[in-house]
Structure 1
Amino acid sequence: MKKWVLPALILLLVISHFPLRAQIRENFDLQLFIESLFNTQEESLNYEDLYERLLLLYETPVNINTASIEDLRGLYILSDPQIDSLKAYIARNGKLLTEYELQLVPEFDLATIEKILPFITINAQDLTTDNRPLWQRILSERNHYFIYRYEQTLEKKRGFDPPESPTDTRYAGSRGKQYLRYRVAKPGDFSFGFTTEKDPGEAIVWDPDSKRYGMDFWSAHAMLENNNQWKKVIVGDYQLQFGQGLIFGAGFAIGKGSETINTLERVNLGIRPYTSVLEGGFLRGVAATYSLSEKVALTAFFSRLKQDAALQEDEETFEQYFSSIQTSGFHRTPSEIDNKKQITETVAGANLHFKVNGRTQLGFVISNNNFNIPIQRSNQGYNLFEFSGQSNSNGSVYANFNINKFRFFGEAGVSKSGGKGGVLGLTTTLSPRVDFALLWRNYSRDFHALRGASFAEGSRNINESGIYWGLKYTLNRSLFVTAYYDSFQFPWLRYRVNAPSEGNDYLLRVNYLPNSKVHSYIQYRKKTREENATETDTGNTIIRPGVRQQVLVNFDYRLAPGLSLKSRVQYSHFQLYTEKNDGYAFIQDAVYYFGKLILSGRIALFDTEGANNRQYAYERDVLYSFSIPAYSGEGVRNYILIQYKASRKLDLWARWARTRYYDRKTIGSGLETIEGNQRTDVKFQIRYKLR
């Protein structure tokens, strides 16, 4: 290409699409974008880790000219052919001078550019290292803030009523939930912060004997990056994600969902600060990554974390043991308080990572978990091969590489028990319109990876094998189809399944985006999984396939400048042996942007039969908080969310949500019981930026 042609094309693009970046960032909805990445919504999960990571990228975008392949893949937007095309374009034509030049990159369409622009910046100049003292860099960082949140259920729960007798159990604390967070972070340089929380019913007390120190939960971290050969050093609470997450998965995986290709391969994130309020699953101690050479890095980590458990005593030996770690995080009643931080888990290990080039990587992971008190499982058949004792060790090897147009990735590991686990996948572009993915996994019934989170149908990497097929077909820039088929087997018993079992899961989604104002899709999913059932004549337990079918119809549209509407219909049908039932929900959302004020709300009608037809639907919430409630029974749910940018430094949120049921006179059970048929939750949040 002649030297004058490329600048001329760029100038033409700038003139013809001048408001491109400004309009996209102004109209960009981060919560809506992350919702599109979520795995199919079956249960109320915590998405704070993923949300925070993408929010940090949004507030401090990566320089696309210098971003690594791992950085680009971690956006969950670009396919491997698109990343290759971008890298080849930069190598051939030099660094991008403006975001409009992305339209000249082969494989990039306008829809992709609109998705990626909020998370990137274009800087053709090599930025020199900031040599200012750390305290000056911290004080000048824009991503520097405090957040305080208060929420409460207006209707009183039974746990807050006065006790009727001295033996009645009641909650120790107030009805409100409080949350305080501080963080200052700059990607590639540093991150400091703490998070503290008190759940409803927990008391704010200073009582070392019961391991309560003011707010019920505290978490903090301090991390420095890229200090000579030290790539990362973190003290405090952290997570690890190596390879495909077989041994350590940090919670940034998307899983099965409507994006059937780009989110399949795990991103090797290494050490990550932990900033959530889930009171388990993280590590607490010190971890560091040291660059032995340009292509070799060593990570070492040590953690000692106290966790909740109900201690028991063996009747013969009088030795203490526990059957499981409690992760609810509630410390409201005397028994819950007694169970707080009763066991100590020590984790130590290392990772050796070889980066041959941007596309080829190889690594090894070793780790050891040790408990000060042994785990002794209950005497149930499904627990026969579960981990027990005090010590567990793991080792694994992982790799990812390209052969022609095929991208391969995988990890294989073994645990102290001798149990083995492995995952192997590939993605490729079969034609300009067809993307394909294949993933195989096999986790033996005695494979114990206590912090593993690789691809699986179950919640853990144990007692499962299966093959996943993913497909994406792009008919044109407005119409594309995504689909997957996943078959799986469980070679041993599971909870509430008294025999080895199997199943399959497939999804088909047709997306139609005629223009930037309209986004619509229709989705069908069917999951078959064997479960226990009761024989009608004899009352015996038998194994039969439970079949759940679901249809979603969604229509997002921008009705006018600043006003967006979303209409959604959900229907599901479940059948297990003689049991047949249905569930549906009709949902209407609206979001209105008016200067510094954002108003959003929902009206939802639902009618469901049985637990398997509960309808899950993502709701907009305050910053760093997610709401995916289960619509169960018969009723109506409404919410209103107000966000106001009071100044450059101050943001305010207020949320009101109410569910009214037509099929019951009480809500909840036990101490959570509410007399009446409605529940109202209010939430207030303030964020103050120091810069």
Structure 2
Amino acid sequence: MRQYVLTLLFLLLPSFLFAQEESDTFQDVYNSLSDMDDFDEEGWTEAYDNLTAMAQMPQNINAATYEDLLAVPLLTEEQAVAIIYYRDLYGDLRSISELSLITALDPPRCKILSAIFYAEPIPNNAKGILKYPKSSLLMTLAVPTYERKGFKEGKYLGDKLSHSIRYQLKTNRLQIGLTASKDAGEQFFCGENRKGWDFYTGFARLKETGIMKDLIVGHYQVSIGMGLILNNGYRLSKTSLLLTQPSSKTSLRGHTSKMESNYLQGVASTIALWRRNATKNISLTPFLSWKYLDATMSDTEPPTISTIVSNGYHRTKEELMRRYATTQTVAGASLVYTSLPFRIGLNIVHIHLKDSLAPSKNQMYRRYYPEGKDFTDGSLSYSFITPKLQFSGETALGKAAKYNEKDKDGIALATANAIRWNFHQQWSAFALQRFYSYRHTPLLGRSFGDVSNCQNENGIYAGMMTTALRNITLSAYIDGSHHPWIRYGYDNSSRSWDTYLSAAYERKNLSATLKYRYREQATTETGSILPQFGSKINGTAQHTLRSTVKYTFGRFQSSSQLQGTFLPTSNDWGYLLSEGFGYQAIKWSLWLSITYFNTSDYLSRLYITDKSITYGATSCMLYGQGLRTNLLAKAIIIKGLQASVRCNILNYFDRDKISSSYQQIDSSSQTDLYFQLNWKF
């Protein structure tokens, strides 16, 4: 079967000889700036999808507003201000490569901006809402060549194909996005899903209309301050904090991801109550949302919510029973005063559930889970931004969770504060403090830390970065945190310790990185909050080393990745070696990579990033022993129409079955095919 698949792909290549491939530069840059195992999977994918959506519909950087620049993941507020000041001083950029002249922008950020912006003069009559329309239509089909247990036993009600359609329209001030998607095993125009695809999402967005700076109707995301009370977007990771300063700004964005959670449904807007310019104004951002939630309901009368389900799967009868089980209403507002370098915001969010949330609290780590129908949280966000010193933070208050019915009502506190000091042109230092009470339970809050839900964590992070050595960037951080209440997997209070060292070299056609990370999570029985660097701890410790070398010679490119990990607490270990080679012609491109991996256990799993189709996941988790092959072909059939074909083959040498339960594959290998058409018009 695999030989047939490879033969088919190579037979398709001659039809790709009449076009030019779109750039996927930002994929490699994003992968080098972020580590998958440092993000939660949802946050990592969310940031990647946002960048992909921007790259799909590039914007004229001369027409980009301050808010447009701040919406770019990994771009700091200081860098956005620097671009605005550069335009004010020298006029419109004549070429996107002119970004390299802005000293606040480093090469990685310039590459990302070059992928999502272009530069051309702004005509005098460019103020109409429907001026300069651009559209894109993206169709993706995933075809597995194997059958999972859920299909064999008839548990999955739909077919094994997964597919999606994404449409975007962008004009001078109007943006429309629509997405329809179906996962493998879900029904399509039949059974409980006669409407077609399993999930639909979309929005319409209008910008800069009188005092209305921004208006979104449909599915959207809101991020407030550090995310302590509301953050539908991605959250900063420890490695990305070395590159960017958390913003205290309230931001809106349309939701076009296939993720069936982490969004609001309704209307949101940003209103300019007073505005002198982009850096001095008062704005109000109200939002209102009502949507269905998937949930596991109790058998009591009236029924209560045992668990809110966010994976979006509706393949079996049981999963369909949880679909649209209850509803959620969200209302809130953010009032922000900006007079750079100062910004301060007053924020409030209220959440109402149709049915009462009543999770099981039999286990000690679940005693302070949120419960009830109504949740109200308020916060104060603030920042001070200058070229040399940046400070930002948020402090939130909300109703405290109770241990049991006898526990008294109270107020729970959460605060996170970050500071960056660029004490030299080539040196910067960064620190972040957070305190999240174990009784603080915001339903929609997500912020920086070992935990994502802003609860049960106190910690301090310190990092430093320098480019003092020619062509070399050195960075490092140390992060220590304490969890006063019991967490899952621990029978006592616990602590976490994380250290990271990185060296990156880039010159002409050669780039190389070397990263080392040590993580330790253990109970505090010993009374020490410092790392033990040994195997005799009640918890886990892990050493990880990664190196990547990329080289471009003419139309050829190569990539080598080597990773190793060791867990002294369990003597687990793992390593992988990956080699990739590509050829980019004027009218087509081809990429082939082969990865050998060998780990002793799931605990020693490793992550690898590789090239993929547009919106495709570029990171893969590997454990056990085996070989992974990735083949990718891209081209444009006619002007504006790009075709992509990807074949991913995974062979295990240490097992005859893959996965478990309904996802089980009765084979030691699996082959997935991906087909995609990307039409821009």
Same fold at TM > 0.5: yes
Distance 1:112 1:240, change over 3 A: closer
Q: Using the TM superposition, give the Cα deviation of residue 619 of structure 1 relative to its aligned residue in structure 2, in angstroms.
A: 2.2
Alignment partner, residue 634 of structure 2: 643
Letter of the structure 1 residue corresponding to residue 549 of structure 2: F
Contact 1:666 1:676 in 2 (8 A): yes
Contact 1:158 1:672 in 2 (8 A): yes
Aligned to 1:671: 662
1:339 counterpart (314, 319, 322) = 322
Q: How does 1:21-170 map to 2 (within 5 A)?
A: 29-41=25-37, 44-45=41-42, 47-58=44-55, 61=58, 71-72=68-69, 74-75=71-72, 105-106=102-103, 113=110, 116-122=113-119, 127-131=124-128, 134=130, 137=131, 140-142=132-134, 144-161=135-152, 163=153, 170=155
Give the conservation status (yes or no) of the 8 Å contact 1:48–1:276.
Answer: no
Kindly indicate whether residue 248 of structure 2 is the aligned counterpart of residue 270 of structure 1.
no
Mapping 1:670-689, distance limit 5 Å: 670-689=661-680
| 2:292 alignment counterpart | 306
Q: Which 10-residue stretch deviates more, 243-252 or 645-654?
A: 243-252
The one-character-per-residue Cα deviations of 1:390-449 (angstroms, maximum 9, x if unpaired) are 111110110111368321100111112221111101111122221111110111011122
> 2:454 aligned with 1:461, yes or no?
yes
Deviations 1:422-478 (A, max 9, x none): 110111112222111111011101112211122111122111111111100212341
1:208-607 equivalence runs, <5 A: 210=192, 213-257=195-239, 259-266=240-247, 268=249, 270-294=251-275, 295-314=281-300, 318-357=301-340, 359-378=341-360, 379-402=362-385, 405-417=388-400, 418-513=411-506, 515-530=507-522, 544-558=538-552, 560-576=553-569, 579-607=570-598
- 3-state SS, counterpart of residue 332 of structure 2: strand
- Please report the TM-score for the alignment, with normalisation by the length of structure 2: 0.87
Q: Judging changes above 3 Å, is the alpha-carbon distance between structure 1 residues 384 and 564 closer, same or farther for their aligned structure 2 residues?
A: same
Between the aligned partners of 1:684 and 1:273, the Cα distance in structure 2 is 26
Distance, in Å, in 2 between the alignment partners of 1:46 and 1:330 is: 19
Gaps of 5+ in 2: 1-20, 276-280, 401-410, 526-535
Paired with 1:32 and 1:251, the residues of 2 have a C-alpha distance of 21
Does the 8 Å CA contact 1:620/1:641 hold for their aligned counterparts?
yes
Q: 1:341 to 1:116 in 2, by over 3 A?
A: closer
Structure 1 pair 95–611 and aligned structure 2 pair: CA distance change class (3 A): same
Query: CA 1:433/1:30 → structure 2, altered by over 3 Å: closer, same or farther?
Result: closer
Q: Secondary structure at the match of 1:412?
A: strand
Structure 1 counterpart SS, 2:147: coil
**1:503/1:530 contact within 8 Å kept:** yes
The one-letter amino acid paired with 2:595 is: A
Tell me the distance in 1 between the aligned counterparts of 2:107 and 2:355: 57
Is residue 182 of structure 1 aligned with residue 176 of structure 2?
A: no
CA distance in 1, matches of 2:386, 2:79: 16
Matched residues in 1 for 2:176 and 2:103: separation?
A: 40
Structure 1 gaps of 5+ residues are 1-24, 164-168, 534-541
Amino acid at match of 2:651: R
AA at the equivalent of 1:411: E
For 2:348 and 2:46, how far apart are their aligned partners in 1? 24
Q: What TM-score, normalized by structure 1, do the two folds share?
A: 0.86
Change (3 A) 1:340 1:26: closer
Deviation at 1:213, TM superposition (A): 2.6
In structure 2, relative to structure 1, the CA distance for the partners of 1:657 and 1:28 (3 Å cut) is closer
Note if contact 2:247-2:383 (Cα within 8 Å) is conserved in structure 1: no
- Equivalent residues of 1:300, 1:349 under 8 A apart: yes
Alpha-carbon distance in 2 for matches of 1:290, 1:341? 33
Classify 1:96/1:500 alpha carbon distance in 2 versus 1 (closer, same or farther; 3 Å): same
Q: 1:630 to 1:91 in 2, by over 3 A?
A: closer
Distance 1:232 1:522 in 2: 42
CA distance in 2 between partners of 1:629 and 1:388 (Å): 35
1:650, distance to aligned residue in structure 2 (A): 1.1
Deviation at 1:373, TM superposition (A): 1.0
**Alignment-mate amino acid for residue 501 of structure 2:** L
Partner of 2:10: none
How many Å apart are 1:261 and its aligned residue?
A: 2.7
Q: Name the CA distance, whole Å, in 2 between partners of 1:212 and 1:243.
A: 41
8 Å CA contact retained: 1:148, 1:687: yes
| SS of the residue 1:605 aligns to | strand
What is the count of residue pairs matched by the alignment? 634
1:156 and 1:468 map into 2 onto residues whose CA distance is 46
> For residues 498 and 128 of structure 1, what CA distance do their matches in structure 2 show?
67
CA deviation map 1:241-296 (0-9, x unaligned): 12122222232344122x44332414735221111111112111111221111011
Give the letter aligned to residue 506 of structure 1: T
Aligned equivalents of 1:146, 1:113: Cα separation in 2: 27
2:209 aligned partner, one-letter code: N
Q: Is the 8 A contact 2:632 2:644 kept in 1?
A: yes
Structure 1 counterpart SS, 2:365: helix
- Spell out, residue by residue over 1:468-497, the C-alpha distance to the aligned partner (whole angstroms, 9 max, x if none): 111002123411201111111111111111
Q: Sort the Cα spacing of 1:224 and 1:300 in 2 relative to 1 into closer, same or farther, 3 A.
A: same
Equivalent-residue separation in structure 2 for 1:47 and 1:667 (angstroms)? 25
Q: Taking structure 1 as reference, are residues 100 and 463 closer, same or farther at Cα in structure 2, changes over 3 Å only?
A: closer
1:622-641 alignment runs, 5 A limit: 622-641=613-632
> What do residues 568-620 of structure 1 show as CA deviations (whole Å, max 9, x unaligned)?
100001133xx211011101112221122121121000011222210111122
For residues 72-108 of structure 1, the C-alpha deviation after alignment (integer angstroms, 9 at most, x for no partner) is 4554566677666666666666665555665655566
SS in 1 for 2:616: coil
Give the conservation status (yes or no) of the 8 Å contact 2:355–2:373.
yes
Instruction: Assess if the C-alpha contact under 8 Å between 1:260 and 1:471 holds in 2.
Output: no
Task: Name 1:4's counterpart in structure 2.
Answer: none
- Residues 613-637 of structure 1 show CA distances to partners (whole Å, capped at 9, x for unaligned) of 1011112211112142211101111
Q: Which of 638, 648, 659 matches 2:650?
A: 659
Report what 2:533 is aligned to: none
Secondary structure of the structure 2 residue equivalent to 1:323: strand
Q: CA deviation at 1:35?
A: 1.2
Question: Would the alpha carbon gap of residues 338 and 61 (structure 1) be closer, same or farther in structure 2, given more than 3 Å must change?
Answer: closer
Aligned-partner SS, 1:499: coil
Query: 2:43·2:233 contact (CA, 8 Å) conserved in 1?
Result: no
Q: Is the CA contact 2:49–2:257 (under 8 Å) kept in the aligned structure 1?
A: no
Larger relative contact order (Cα-Cα within 8 Å, sequence gap ≥ 6): 2
Q: Measure the CA separation in 2 of the matches of 1:642 and 1:287.
A: 40
Could you say what secondary structure the match of 2:185 adopts? coil
Q: Aligned equivalents of 2:82 and 2:290: distance in 1?
A: 45
How large is the RMSD of aligned CA atoms in angstroms? 2.7
* CA-CA distance at 1:335 after TM superposition: 0.8
State the Cα distance separating 1:684 from its structure 2 match: 0.8
The match for 2:612 is 621
Tell me, yes or no, if the aligned pair for 1:57 and 1:119 is still in contact at 8 Å: yes
1:660 Cα deviation from its structure 2 partner: 0.7
Q: Distance in 1 between matches of 2:338 and 2:420?
A: 20
Greater displacement, 50-59 / 589-598:
50-59
**For residues 128 and 465 of structure 1, do their structure 2 counterparts lie closer, same or farther at Cα, with a shift above 3 Å needed?**
farther
| SS across alignment from 1:31 | helix
